[in-house]
Structure 1
C-alpha cells in the first residue's frame, strides 16, 4: 500500500506548499487551511519550484488542499492598496512599464503551467471552494475529481479584472466558449453536479471518498506503459491546433515511434 502524503518526508515545504514523492506519484498540497488556502506570489513561487523539483520517476502528480476548501482564491491582502509586505501591490504593478508588468504576470503564471507537461498526468482533488485563482489552479491540471460540496467560481471579472493565471484556455476547451463566457462574466458558482455534466470535472464523489477516488485514478493511470501515455497525451493536447489530416499524420508518427521502441529499434 502506498504511503499517505503525511507519512512522507517533504521534498519542499514552504509558503503554503508541500511536495511529497512516493515513487511514481507526487503530491502537491496547499497547506494553509486557516486562510482557505488563499494564494499569494510567495505561494506561486513555491508551486513553480515544486514543478522544478519533481524527480524523473514521477508519472502522476496529485494536487490537493488541506481543510474544507481547495483554494478560495487570492489572498485579500493583495487587493488592498498596501498589498502584501515585500510584494508589489496591484497599484505598484499598474504603475510599472509594459515590459515589467508583463514579466510580473508571466512570473505568476509559472506556477500554473507545468502541470500539463507531457511526461506527467496531473489530477486536482477539489473540495469546497475553488474560487478565482483556486479555480484556475484546478484548471491547470489535466484531470479533476471533485467532492460533492465543491463550488467553482471565476470572480476576477466582477472585481474589474480578467482571469490571467492560464485558466481561460483550458476552460474554453472543457466547456466551450459560450459556457466559459457566462461562467466568467457572471462569477456564479458551478456545483459538482454541473461540473461533471459540462465536462469541467471527470468525477464527483462524496467528500469522504475524494482521496480514495484520486488514488484509484492514479493507480489506473500508472497501469499503462509510461511512454504510451506520454505519446497519447501529446497527441490529445496537440489535436485542437491541428487539422484532421495533420492529426492523422501526428498519429502515424507517434505510432511509428511506439512500434520501433517496442521492437527494440528506437533511438
Structure 2
C-alpha cells in the first residue's frame, strides 16, 4: 500500500469514505459516507479514493460505488470556493501560482482513473444530486445505475472553470461532443429518464432498489470467467480508437488468446 497522504485506511473514514470487501474477495464496495455534507468532496477524499484503488487485493473483480443519504455527491466542498479554502488544503487559485499546479491536479485525477482498469468492472449506484466532481466520479465507473430522482449537472464552466477530474472523455464517449458541450456549457440538470435515453445510465430504478440492483448486476457480470470478461472489456474500451479492420484484428487476437487458454496451451 502506498504510504503517501490518504494511504492509511484510518484516514478514509475521516475523509468520508468506507471500503468493504465481500467474503470471497471478489467484490469491493466503496461508499461515500458523509451524508450530512451531501457527500461533498475534498482533496482528502480524492487521496483516499486513489489509495483505495492502489490497495485493492488481486481477488477483486468488481467494485461497487455507493453513497449514503439523499445525494450521491453534491460536488466539491463549497469551502474550496471561499478565500479561506478547505482547512489544510491548497486553495484553488493557489494552483495557478508556481509550476506544480499540473502535478497537483494530476494527483487529484488519480481518484477518478483506476475505476476503468481492465481487470475490474466498476458500477456506480447514483441517487439524488451528482454535481460537478460527483458527476465526474459517477462517470469514472464503467456502468451507472440511477435512482428515479437522480439529477446530474456539470457546473464547473458556470464558475469560470472546466471539468478536470477525468470526466470529459467518458462523457463525450457516452453522449457525443455536441451533447457533452451543451450539458457542460449550460450546467443544466439531467434527470433519470434523459440519462438512460442518452446513454449516461444503464437503468433507472426506485431509490430503495438501487443498491441491491447494483449488487445483482455485479453478480451477473462475475458469472463469466474472469479472463473472458477482462478480454471483452478491453475489446470494447479500445473499439473507439480503432477502425473496423483494426477492431476485427483485435477480436481475432483476443479470441485466439482465449482458445489457447481453454486448450491449456498458455501463451
Q: TM-score, normalised by structure 1?
A: 0.94
Return closer, same or farther for 1:176/1:82 CA change in 2, 3 Å cut-off. Answer: same
Alignment-derived partner of residue 112 in structure 1: 112
CA–CA distance in 2 between the matches of 1:227 and 1:12? 31
Deviation at 1:87, TM superposition (A): 0.9
Deviation at 1:240, TM superposition (A): 0.7
Return closer, same or farther for 1:158/1:11 CA change in 2, 3 Å cut-off. Answer: closer
Deviation at 1:10, TM superposition (A): 9.5
Deviation at 1:248, TM superposition (A): 0.9
SS in 2 for 1:144: strand
Deviation at 1:91, TM superposition (A): 2.1
Return closer, same or farther for 1:153/1:24 CA change in 2, 3 Å cut-off. Answer: same
SS in 1 for 2:66: strand
Give unmatched runs, 5+ long, in structure 2: 1-8
Q: Describe how 1:37-186 pairs up with structure 2 within 5 A.
A: 37-97=39-99, 100-186=100-186
CA–CA distance in 1 between the matches of 2:199 and 2:87? 39
After TM superposition, where is structure 1 displaced by more than 2 Å over at least 4 residues in a row? Answer: 9-14
Q: How many residues align?
A: 257
1:253 equivalent in alignment to 2:243: no
Return closer, same or farther for 1:20/1:12 CA change in 2, 3 Å cut-off. Answer: farther
Alignment deviations for residues 226-249 of structure 1 (CA, whole Å, 9 cap, x no partner): 100000000111111111111111
Deviation at 1:215, TM superposition (A): 1.5
Root-mean-square deviation (Å): 1.4
Return closer, same or farther for 1:10/1:91 CA change in 2, 3 Å cut-off. Answer: closer
Return closer, same or farther for 1:151/1:140 CA change in 2, 3 Å cut-off. Answer: same
Deviation at 1:96, TM superposition (A): 2.5
SS in 2 for 1:26: strand
Deviation at 1:90, TM superposition (A): 1.3
Give yes or no for contact 1:11–1:21 (8 Å, CA) kept in 2: no
CA–CA distance in 2 between the matches of 1:101 and 1:10? 28
Q: TM-score, normalised by structure 2?
A: 0.94
Alignment-derived partner of residue 192 in structure 2: 192
CA–CA distance in 2 between the matches of 1:200 and 1:10? 34
CA–CA distance in 1 between the matches of 2:61 and 2:13? 21
Alignment-derived partner of residue 262 in structure 1: 262
Give unmatched runs, 5+ long, in structure 1: 1-8
Deviation at 1:66, TM superposition (A): 0.7
Give yes or no for contact 2:12–2:45 (8 Å, CA) kept in 1: no
1:202 equivalent in alignment to 2:198: no
SS in 2 for 1:70: coil
